[in-house]
Structure 1
Amino acid sequence: MVLGPPVEPMLAQAVEAVPGPAALRAGVAYEQRLDGHRALLFTGAGPGGAVVVQTRRGSLVQDRWPDLVAAAEAQLPADLVLDGELVVWNAEEGRLSFGALQRRAVARALGAAALAVRWPACFVPFDVLQQGGQELLNQPYAEHRTRLEDLFTDRALTAPWTLVPMTTHLAKAREWLEFWTDVSGVESIVCKPLTAVTSPDTGAEPRSNGATPPKPSWARSPGL
């Protein structure tokens, strides 16, 4: 199955406890959850194919992110689907700017181009749902992460692409929560079992629009 918009992204579930011993023994990845807008980015099926940016609710908004579209056309391979966060960094404040992000999210046409110069956007992927035309929904998280890291290395990707920070060390995750949430725009920590798949075995058939069921994960607010 080749994915195409709209795709329903998986959603993290907030919990009140650290993952249990069984999950910790199997291995857990901790990722930063940033103060941004959830989005999926699709590259075309071949050279020169259209780049599409989809919101969490399924709207297609690539016209509002011309800088990302241009960067994707120049730097990313065809037949790729990335899941991640749209963010805007405020260099003067030294943190993410949700206000600037909101302004960009509603801009159209010439306004979008002008705001892209003033407030360049970054796309921070934390999952790859398709690569080289191969749908990856049943691959474990660890495989997805390796593919993302290889993509950044092989393509020498830099801004506007930033791979979401990840650690397998609980102490480092706690450090992020204690010191990063108030200063840099980290909202919380998302915990993902290394063996979890994007499309868990729920017994449900995929929808005709390519929607994906939620992936088992935990989102922790400060206090992890």
Structure 2
Amino acid sequence: MDLPVMPPVKPMLAKSVSKIPPGMQYEAKWDGFRAIVHRDGDEVEIGSRTGKSLTRYFPELVTALKDNLPARCVVDGEIVIVHGGRLDFDRLTERIHPAQSRVDMLAQKTPAGFVAFDLLALGDQSLLDTPLAARRTALTDALSTARPPVHLAPATTDPALAQEWFERFEGAGLDGVIAKPLDLPYRPDARLMFKIKHERTADVVVAGFRFHKSGPIVGSLLLGLHDAHGALQHVGVCAAFPMKRRAELVEELAPLRMDDTTGHPWAAWAEEAAHESARLPGAQSRWTGKKDLSWVPLRPERVCEVAYDHLEGDRFRHTAQFRRWRPDREPQSCTYAQLEEVVGYDLAEVLNLKA
């Protein structure tokens, strides 16, 4: 492979803002695997956000990228899997598997797509110093004949339309909106774009915590919600605390600590089979490796309010943000029923937009 921009390349990133800023290019924020694709003839390399290779996990994409991308190019985009008319991140994570036989089977069963939204190089020319507006024009031209499963990400410079996308597209599993300055060059690993994400709040039960990697202070709180049968299901964690607050939380939660998990609703967390019928903390996976997933059980008596962006199935898709304790709420009142239902929206309609 001999391209003007060689792998590995870390993608340009975005920082969170609360509102859609004016005067920029706007795109949907895709919920998949960020990927930089290098193609030089028959050679294709798919790099992850960290620069590691994803190529072997998506053999069907390698074929599709050869069929739809220019012969020599570097493209920034997102690997996604669509199921039931919306993005499905759980099915996407299943694709990262060490066994080649399973990789090949899943390539047939749950094929992935690629949504392209930036062009870093074309032919012998690096576009890293080219303004975004010109890169977008070049990308549109380069993918003018592309067909599924390779897609050109819809984009607009109309902030009103971007706001409409923000409100409508969540039903298709999208994360929010990305805003990009029109004169922005491509700067790998720099947070120069802006992301506007959905945020909601929920009252959840705190049923345990993990220690921080630096010592005997709280690393994350384990959160639960009661399902329709009254069982407390693990729905995620909140973890962003200042170091001083982490130490305070150890003392604050001490009266609720249990010597072991006996009698705790998640007592079976260490049993692999138990995770098949309930959502429990601590399931080992290829993502966690040998990471210590042990946790300190708490009597599930305290309630806190957290902010979250959206759900993936029956859990928070990302780490929730602690907002406040809710001493006025009873743990049994913290159920899935309080969570907002998002109106469905067919992802195919998003991908077929011509804006």
Global fold match (TM > 0.5) = yes
Change (3 A) 1:62 1:216: same
Find the counterpart in structure 1 of residue 198 from structure 2. 222
CA distance in 2, matches of 1:213, 1:62: 21
C-alpha contact (below 8 Å) 2:20/2:163 kept by paired residues? no
1:50-98 deviations in whole A, cap 9, x for unaligned? Answer: 21011001111211100011122233223211111100011xx221111
Change (3 A) 1:170 1:107: farther
Equivalent residue letter for 2:9: V
Structure 1 SS opposite 2:7: coil
CA deviation after TM superposition for structure 1 residue 143, in Å: 0.7
Find the counterpart in structure 1 of residue 110 from structure 2. 119
Find the counterpart in structure 1 of residue 181 from structure 2. 193
Q: 1:27-176 maps to which residues of 2 (within 5 A)?
A: 27-44=23-40, 47-48=41-42, 50-90=43-83, 93-106=84-97, 108-153=99-144, 156-176=145-165
CA distance in 2, matches of 1:62, 1:123: 13
More strand by share: 2
Q: Which contiguous aligned blocks of 4+ residues in structure 1 show a shift greater than 4 angstroms?
A: none
Find the counterpart in structure 2 of residue 205 from structure 1. none
CA distance in 2, matches of 1:163, 1:107: 30
1:149-171 deviations in whole A, cap 9, x for unaligned? Answer: 10121xx1111111112111111
Structure 1 SS opposite 2:133: helix
Change (3 A) 1:108 1:125: farther
C-alpha contact (below 8 Å) 1:42/1:80 kept by paired residues? yes
C-alpha contact (below 8 Å) 1:85/1:125 kept by paired residues? yes
TM-score by length of 2: 0.53
C-alpha contact (below 8 Å) 1:138/1:198 kept by paired residues? yes
Equivalent residue letter for 1:15: V
C-alpha contact (below 8 Å) 1:13/1:219 kept by paired residues? yes
C-alpha contact (below 8 Å) 2:57/2:97 kept by paired residues? yes
C-alpha contact (below 8 Å) 1:63/1:108 kept by paired residues? no
TM-score by length of 1: 0.82
Percent identity at matched positions? 36
Question: What is the alpha-carbon root mean square deviation over aligned residues?
Answer: 1.7
Change (3 A) 1:17 1:75: closer
C-alpha contact (below 8 Å) 1:39/1:53 kept by paired residues? yes
CA distance in 2, matches of 1:28, 1:97: 29
CA distance in 2, matches of 1:193, 1:128: 15
Structure with greater contact order relative to length (CA < 8 Å, sep ≥ 6): 1
| Residues matched between the structures, number | 197
Find the counterpart in structure 2 of residue 203 from structure 1. none
CA distance in 1, matches of 2:192, 2:104: 38
